[in-house]
Chains A and B, each alone.
Chain A
Amino acid sequence: MNEKYFPPQIIRIEISQHKVVYMHISEGILSVPILISGGALTAAGTAIGLKKLDYDRIMGVAILAATFFVASLIHVPLGPGSVHLVLNGLLGVVLGWASFPAILTALLLQAIFFQYGGIVVLGVNTFNMAVPALLCFYLVRPWLARPKFRPLAGFVGGFLSVFLSSLLMALALALSDSGFLATAKIVVAAHLPVMIIEGFITMFTVSFLARVKPEILQLESRS
């Protein structure tokens, strides 16, 4: 009964899945207080994000969330290996408070498609990525409006968002069990190359957007 079929938009996407994926804590590692507080904070952030989001804008946020999901599938070479893009800083600049529901959606889809992360740990993982995004919205976006500071602000935004995300991830591990401390330090150190690449790519994307479509960055003054 009820034979399921693939809707036509499901196509073959040529992506190698056998790469190490960052920015996720698997299920079954964190302690109860961390899971609960991460879940509660994400619920609050998502509630605020949804409240600020009216029905006319849902379509736009959904398509941008899909775009950032696609970004996480882009592998950029780094020496002999490769890293995948996160771009949560850029997402924060573009979406503001809507980053919370957008990242929650993207992570849920990743969990369903690839089983990265999970449901119980979803709150913590979302919080770890959405808070730096939000910080970028408030701290980096004002600097993007000035053409002189734009490249630097773009780099700092990309670098800082991944740095803060890995820091939050390390913090969640270390607070769960003090024995994770050394592992947590390695997590931050391992993300260092990702931070640099994210910085450069965010910088180039931001200056591209400022020239081609400044309204995406919600810049007050055009260059």
Chain B
Amino acid sequence: MIFEIFSQGNSLLHRTDTRVKIVGAMALTLVIALCQSYYTGLAGLLTGLSLLLVSRLKWRQVLMRLVVVNSFIAFLWLTLPLTYPGDTIGLGPINLSRQGIELVTLITIKTNGIILIFISLLATSTVAELGHGLEGLRLPTKLCLLLLFSYRYIFVVSQEYQRLARAAKLRCFRPGTNLHTYRTYGHLFGMTLVKSWNRAERVGQGMLLRGFHGRFYSLDEQIMAKGDLIFLIIILTTVIGLGGLEFLLT
């Protein structure tokens, strides 16, 4: 499993300035998350689909991602129609709530629209670019450093954990539902923590030694181009359009 499968590509969205994409994604998500009408939700879903077309990602990977992310929605489909108060529709022996079905349909449309926007706007950047983009948007430097460093070390820590887990497997450890399994996992994770702690100390000293004073320098500094501005204007117009549609319908 490679984490940032969507960040590789050479489409318009992959080339657009990260700050523009962050602002655009925030604005679009906000207006879709707050809308109450089907038509606005559908328009949002359409926006997401068209952005996905522009990003030229492999639709199969996107579809697989959508299936996984929709697990929480599936849970809502299982519970809300049965429990939401309102008019009931008889379906054999089961009584379904009309309002419940309506609500969960709206949520499904909105959530999937937002996920598509998220994938096509934010997942098309690497975390390194996003970290620098957030710093460019005047977020606290410490927070951006935290994001960049954690991202850097997730893979290292994960490899370390995998090594320990492999060692346990070689010693015939078979996970099951018993106390022995939980003790083993507890110790495996404890050991990972100890190793990370030691690594953090070493890396901190190493960075101090190399004169780190709280700033990360990026090799490819992004400059806002004319195309980025036009893209931002298109996105913001869409946001205003969606907001207006919502205002007219409710």
Residues of A participating in the B interface, judged by any CB pair closer than 8 Å: 1-4, 6-7, 9-15, 17-18, 20-21, 24-29, 32, 35, 46-47, 50, 53, 55-56, 58-67, 69-71, 73-74, 76-79, 85, 87, 94, 101-102, 104-106, 108-109, 111-116, 118-121, 177-183, 186, 197, 200-205, 208-209, 212-213, 216
Contacts and interface: CB of A to CB of B under 8 A. Distances in A.
B189 A25 contact: no
A73 B203 CA distance: 24
Interface residues of B, number: 96
A216 B146 contact: no
Given A3-B10, A4-B7, A9-B156, A111 B103 contact: no
17 contacts: A13-B155, A21-B72, A50-B143, A56-B204, A59-B203, A61-B146, A66-B152, A70-B157, A76-B175, A78-B177, A104-B143, A109-B127, A204-B183, A205-B189, A208-B190, A209-B193, A209-B194
B193 A67 contact: yes
A106 to B, nearest CB: 7
A15 B161 CA distance: 12
B25 A109 contact: no
Given A70-B192, A204-B182, A26 B200 contact: no
Interface string B59-82: 000000100110111011001101
Contacts of B4: 6, 10, 112-113
A41 B82 CA distance: 33
B235 interface: no
A178 B99 CA distance: 13
Contacts of B71: 20-21
A118 B27 CA distance: 13
Interface in B173-216: 175-177, 179, 181-183, 185-187, 189-194, 196-197, 199-201, 203-204, 207-208, 213-214
Contacts of B247: none
A2 B187 contact: no
Given A26-B111, A115-B123, 4 more contacts: A7-B128, A13-B162, A60-B200, A200-B179
B161 A204 contact: no
Contact of A216 (B8, B197, B208): B197
Interface class of chain A by DSSP: helix
A49 B157 CA distance: 23
B84 A179 contact: yes
B158 interface: yes
A174 B75 CA distance: 15
Contact of A4 (B126, B155, B179, B204): B126
A223 to B, nearest CB: 15
Interface in B109-146: 110-111, 113-115, 118-119, 122-123, 126-128, 130, 140, 142-143, 145-146
Given A67-B157, A73-B158, A119-B26, A112 B107 contact: no
Nearest to A79: B177
Given A18-B68, A76-B185, A11 B142 contact: no
Interface stretch (B28-36, B50-58, B87-95, B237-245): B28-36
Contacts of B10: 3
A126 to B, nearest CB: 12
Contacts of A14: 1, 162
Nearest to A202: B186
Contacts of B208: 56
Contacts of A20: 71, 75
Nearest to B126: A4
A26 to B, nearest CB: 5
A77 B175 contact: yes
Contacts of B1: 12-15, 17
A160 to B, nearest CB: 17
B142 A65 contact: no
A179 B123 contact: no
A101 B220 contact: no
Which are the 5 A-B pairs with shortest beta-carbon distances? A204-B186, A62-B149, A182-B83, A28-B110, A208-B190
